[in-house]
Structure 1
Amino acid sequence: MQDVIEHFDDDVEGSFLGMCVRAPENSLRRGISAYDLTMFNTPQLERLVVELGELPEDEKTPVVKRVIEAADQTIRRAGYMLFIGD
C-alpha cells in the first residue's frame, strides 16, 4: 500500500496533457496516457524532470511547474508518481 502525498489535476486548458501529446515520440512525457494509468519510478522521474526543465519558458505552465516539484519530492522519497488519465 502506498501513501498518497499529494494529488492535483491538470488546469482547465489541459496544458500538461497537451504538452505530453505534442512531445517527441522518444520522450518520456509522450508516454503519459490520457486514458489510462501511467506510473513512473525514480529513474524515470529524473528523466521527466530533465525533459520538463528543458521546455521553453512559455510552456512551463503552473501545472508543469507543479509536476516538476512533485516529481522532485517523489524522487527524494524514492517513491512512484502516478498519472491518472480520463
Structure 2
Amino acid sequence: MNRAQDVVEEFGDDAEDSFLAMCVRAPENSLRRGISPYDLTMFNTPQLERLVVELEQLPEEEQTPVVRHIVEQSHQAIRRSGYLLFIGD
C-alpha cells in the first residue's frame, strides 16, 4: 500500500497458513507476534525495517516462500515509503 493508500499488490498465506502459525509462535517482543490473525495490522517503514530483520534471522527451514515474499514486498514498501497491511480473518 502506498501513501495514497493504493493497493500495490495482494497475496495470501500458503495452504497451511504457515506464516500465521509462525507469527503466533513468535517471541512476545517480536513484531511478528503483533500480526493479528483476526484483524488488520499495518506496518510503516520503521516497523517494516524491523520486521525484515526478524524474518531474515529466522532459521533456514522457517524461511518459506511466503516469508521470502513478505521480505521482498516489505523492501518494496520501504522504497516507496508505503505500508504493508496484513488482513486477518
Length-normalised TM-score, structure 2: 0.95
Amino acid at match of 1:69: E
Deviation of 1:2 (Å): 1.2
Amino acid at match of 2:42: M
| Deviation digits for residues 5-46 of structure 1 (CA, Å, limit 9, x no counterpart) | 110000001010011000000001100000000000000000
Of the three residues 5, 17, 20, the one matched with 2:8 is: 5
Report the number of matched residues: 86
Q: Secondary structure at the match of 1:66?
A: helix
Alignment partners' CA distance in 1, 2:68 and 2:21: 15
Percent identity reads: 74
Q: What is the Cα-based RMSD across aligned positions, in Å?
A: 0.6
Gaps of 5+ in 1: none
Q: After the TM superposition, which parts of structure 1 deviate over 2 Å for at least 4 consecutive aligned residues?
A: none
Length-normalised TM-score, structure 1: 0.98
